[in-house]
Amino acid sequence: MSEHHAPIPTEPVPNPEDPGTFVPVRTAADGDQSTWFTRNVKGIVKATYVLAAVLVLLDFTYGKHSHFEIEDIFGFYGFYGFVGCVTLVLLAKLLRKFVMRPEDYYDR
Amino acid sequence: MTGSLPPPLVVILGALLVPFLKGRVRSAYLLALPAVSFAFLLGFEKGVSWHGYAFGHELTLMRVDQLSLVFSYIFHIALFVGLLFALHVRDTTQHVAALIYGGSALGAVLAGDLIVFWLCWEAMAVSSTFLVLARRQPGANGAAMRSLMVQLVSGLLVLIGIALHVHHTGSIAFDSMTPESGSIFDLEWTGAGTLLIFLGLGIKCGWPLLHNWICDGYPAATATGTVFLSAFTTKTAVYALARGFPGTEELIWIGTGMAVFPIFFAVIENDVRRVLCYSMINQVGFMVVGVGIGTPLAISGTAAHAFCHILYKALLFMTAGAVIYRTGRTKCTDLGGLHRTMPWTTAFCVVGAASISAFPLFSGFIAKSLIMIAAAEAGQHVVWLLLLFAAAGVFHHAGIKIPFFVFFSHDSGLRPKEAPKNMLFAMGLGAAACIGLGAFPELLYRHLPYAIPEHAMPYTTSHVIQQFQLLVWSALAFCTLMLTGLYPPELRSVNLDSDVWYRRGAPAFVRFVGGPLMAGFGWLSHTVHVTVPRGLRYFAKNPAGAMKLAVDRFLLGWAGMFRSMGAIDRAQHRLVKDQRRYEDARPGAVWPIGTTVLYSVIAFLVFLLVYLIR
């Protein structure tokens, strides 16, 4: 994935939005650049999985106020959200085949 | 009411003073203006006031009722927060444009009739364009002009519509125009005028296929200008639909379309602010569905959602604006890892993301649920399912993608400074409002057009758990897709959308006009202006000689066909002789009577023929 990203700059880059200023960049002297987030990505993902499981199991514990029968299915909202998002992303990926153009498409 | 000035006038006239102020005085003045205007608004009692006579009608500047009030409240808040966010900007144009834009938005929602509404509607289109032009980049200028064109078309449609409507009904009142059957195509009831107003409002609302001016123009605006843009235009359109077309059933499906299709584009879009534009259309879709359902709960839900949406969308655009201001970059591929040096902006972005995704305790939750319940109660099974899909989808791209790719994800190596103080205060205010409304929905509910019934209250065990389930499992889908590498990478690209037909079509049309069409006209012009006059001059110089020459040439051709050398010789000889005679003639000098008579006879014959044939 990294090949799509801009190369990591080694010296301050000009900021076109605030002319005359430069955006500071990471230097070798900065040392370890890990943060709470980068150290705990795996933990966050695991927590999401656990939370998801707990939330579905909670379905046993309360009375639903449903408008439609489909809502009464065990874990309906979780299932629908997951399937919906996977479908969304895969269809969007497919959409790229039809609508994606080079960045300078309109300038040519 | 006497003693109170209309807020739109206060803001618009107040804007004209800004160029004369400098430094801290100007900053204080900018922040005071919305506050003063708000105080004036509170001075108005419900009802209509500030009448004037123009265009042969009695116009009404102020109509204060529950629906216009809730929109005016949030417009004041958005104006204040936006100005605070832009306080460091030295460019006077932007402040003046923002104030006139916000003032005319206020004027539109407070307008007491269609004509005042339309005047404000146009003022918004023009003033908002300056927020894009102020970026002073060639790309932005093009985008500004394109979206201005589209908005002016909208204004034109509304204007023609109003003219027809007034002709049809004899009234300029801006009230519900929904036909009794509930369908806008009930033309006997509505007349074509109403349909045109409906369509004109739809353009600015961002209906599918009419939406692209938003995704084209807004991301091109200045870092601070987009905040204002995101607040006013589309929501004024929503207000106008809620005022003029509540319960129009076509809106249910239009709104569902708006809620569903942009999320696909948002997933593959690289420009941060364009992603936010797509999610804005998605959110406005919910409001349009609410207007279409038209029940008291749905209308209240629409107003509530507009209120909350303006806050969290402005917050998201502010965080994007802060990043753009500090880095000059707007693409996901160029950003990433900014949470290291912009922790506050990151936190505010996460609050905005949680709000737009409708996490319980955040503002989206207490508003979106009203529309969902209204849709369910209206028995709209499919619409409800699609909206639920859209709600999961918005979390996916606006809730996760924006914060993740900008502030987390891979390290771009950029270490920008934290946003300036005024930006942080503005974002903090927005974030506090999002959480405050989410935690205490009553604060908003008591200002809605209709009371929220007990059964629609958002904080029930079942609703909270189900909402969490929906969102956490959507997050799970994101994690899974990222880990498996199925998630589409951010790519440097543009995606074709409904703007392609004019962004590519218009240049192609210009090429056609400049090429083949102009060549055709050139030929025509040459014929009319050069060839024919030259021929006439040649003929008029010696008509008899010219005719003789024509006959001689014909005879020469005739002789040539039979390949008779003698005849050709004679014909050639005659031709040369006649040519000399023709050349010798002085204009007007050699017009023997006989020739003149011959002409006259021919002319009469032609007349006679024409007369007889007819």
Q: What is the pLDDT of residues B159-187, one digit of tens each?
A: 999 999 888 888 888 888 888 787 878 77
Q: Quick check: is B148 in a domain?
A: no
Distance CA B238, CA B71 (A): 10
**Cβ neighbours of B438 (radius 10 Å):** 26
For A8-57, the DSSP string reads PPSSPEE-TTSTT-EE-B--GGG-----HHHHHHHHHHHHHHHHHHHHHH
Give B527's DSSP letter.
I
Residue type, B432: A
Contacts of B377 in chain A (CB under 8 A): 67
Is the Cβ–Cβ distance between B232 and B128 less than 8 Å?
yes
Q: Quick check: is A61 in a domain?
A: yes
**pLDDT category, A46, cuts 50, 70, 90?**
very high
Domain residues for A82? 32-100
Q: Quick check: is A9 in a domain?
A: no
B interface test, pick of A10, A44, A89, A105 with most B CB neighbours within 10 Å: A89
Contacts of A8 in chain B (CB under 8 A): 411-413
Distance CA B173, CA B6 (A): 19
Residue-wise pLDDT for B441-491, tens only, equals 999 999 999 988 888 888 888 889 989 999 999 999 998 988 888 888 888
Residue carrying the six token digits 């959602």: B305
Contacts of A47 in chain B (CB under 8 A): none
Which residue, of B472, B503, B534, is where some domain finishes?
B503
Q: Quick one: tokens of B20?
A: 């004369």
Domain count, chain A: 1
Which residue, of B455, B478, B503, is where some domain finishes?
B503
Q: Quick one: tokens of B547?
A: 């005719």
- The CA distances from residue B610 to B347, B596, B597, B601, B606, in Å, are 88, 21, 20, 14, 6
Q: Which pLDDT value is given to residue B590?
A: 55
Whether B412 and B263 map to the same domain: the answer is yes
Whether B455 and B591 map to the same domain: the answer is no
Global pTM reads 0.85
Q: Quick check: is B153 in a domain?
A: no
Whether B546 and B489 map to the same domain: the answer is no
Whether B341 and B237 map to the same domain: the answer is yes
Contacts of A97 in chain B (CB under 8 A): none
Q: Quick check: is A21 in a domain?
A: no
pLDDT beyond 80 at B607: yes
A72 Cβ partners below 8 Å, 6+ apart? A64, A66
Whether B253 and B354 map to the same domain: the answer is yes
Residue type, B283: Q
Q: Quick check: is A76 in a domain?
A: yes
Is the Cβ–Cβ distance between B76 and B314 less than 8 Å?
no
Q: Do residue B488 and residue A79 have CB atoms under 8 angstroms apart?
A: no
- Smallest Cα distance from A6 to chain B, Å: 5
| DSSP H/E element including B49 | strand B47-54
Q: Which pLDDT value is given to residue B1?
A: 44
Asked which of A84-88, B1-5, B373-377, B548-552 is least confident by mean pLDDT, the reply is: B1-5
Contacts of B376 in chain A (CB under 8 A): 67-68
Contacts of A11 in chain B (CB under 8 A): none
Helices (H), B52-134: 66-85, 92-110, 114-133
Q: Quick check: is A7 in a domain?
A: no
Q: Quick one: tokens of A83?
A: 């399937």
B357 contacts chain A (CB < 8 A): no
Domain residues for B596? 542-614
Chain B CA closest to residue A22: B327
**pLDDT category, B3, cuts 50, 70, 90?**
low
Residue-wise pLDDT for B257-290, tens only, equals 999 999 999 998 889 999 999 999 999 999 999 9
Residue-wise pLDDT for B13-50, tens only, equals 999 999 998 889 999 999 999 999 999 999 888 888 88
Q: Do residue A8 and residue B503 have CB atoms under 8 angstroms apart?
A: no
Q: Do residue A8 and residue B412 have CB atoms under 8 angstroms apart?
A: yes
CB < 8 Å from A in window 384-423 of B? 384-385, 388-389, 392-393, 396, 408, 410-417
Q: Do residue B495 and residue A79 have CB atoms under 8 angstroms apart?
A: no
Coil, strand or helix at B335: coil
Whether B336 and B401 map to the same domain: the answer is yes
Q: Which pLDDT value is given to residue A91?
A: 92
- Going by C-alpha positions, the residue among B231, B226, B233, B185 that lies closest to residue B206 is B233
Residue carrying the six token digits 């430094």: B23
Q: What is the dihedral of CA B209, B306, B152, B17, to 10 degrees?
A: -150
Strand A13-14 versus strand A22-23 pairing type: antiparallel
A interface test, pick of B209, B357, B388, B494 with most A CB neighbours within 10 Å: B494
Distance CA B69, CA B73 (A): 6
Whether B493 and B346 map to the same domain: the answer is yes
Q: Which pLDDT value is given to residue B332?
A: 86
Number of Cβ pairs < 8 A linking chain A and chain B: 212
- The CA distances from residue B143 to B139, B212, B216, B276, in Å, are 6, 11, 6, 17
CB < 8 Å from A in window 460-499 of B? 460-463, 465-481, 483, 486-497
- For chain B, give the percent of residues with pLDDT over 90: 54
Q: Do residue B328 and residue A18 have CB atoms under 8 angstroms apart?
A: yes
Q: Quick one: tokens of B106?
A: 């206020």
Q: Quick one: tokens of B442?
A: 């009553």
Is the Cβ–Cβ distance between A13 and B341 less than 8 Å?
no
Mean pLDDT, rounded, of chain B? 89
Q: Quick check: is A70 in a domain?
A: yes
Q: Quick check: is B565 in a domain?
A: yes
pLDDT beyond 50 at A101: yes
Q: Quick check: is A5 in a domain?
A: no
Is the Cβ–Cβ distance between B162 and B192 less than 8 Å?
no
> If you compute the radius of gyration of chain B from its CA atoms, what whole number of angstroms results?
34
Domain count, chain B: 2
pLDDT beyond 80 at A85: yes
Whether B486 and B567 map to the same domain: the answer is no
| DSSP H/E element including A101 | strand A100-101
Which residue, of B455, B482, B503, is where some domain finishes?
B503
Q: Quick one: tokens of B584?
A: 């010798």
Distance CA A94, CA B268 (A): 10
Q: Quick check: is A105 in a domain?
A: no
> If you compute the radius of gyration of chain A from its CA atoms, what whole number of angstroms results?
23
B378 Cβ partners below 8 Å, 6+ apart? B293, B295, B298
Q: With a cut of 0.85, is the ipTM above it?
A: yes
CA triple A5-A84-B300, angle to 5 deg? 105
Q: Quick check: is B67 in a domain?
A: yes
Q: Quick check: is B429 in a domain?
A: yes
Chain A CA closest to residue B390: A84
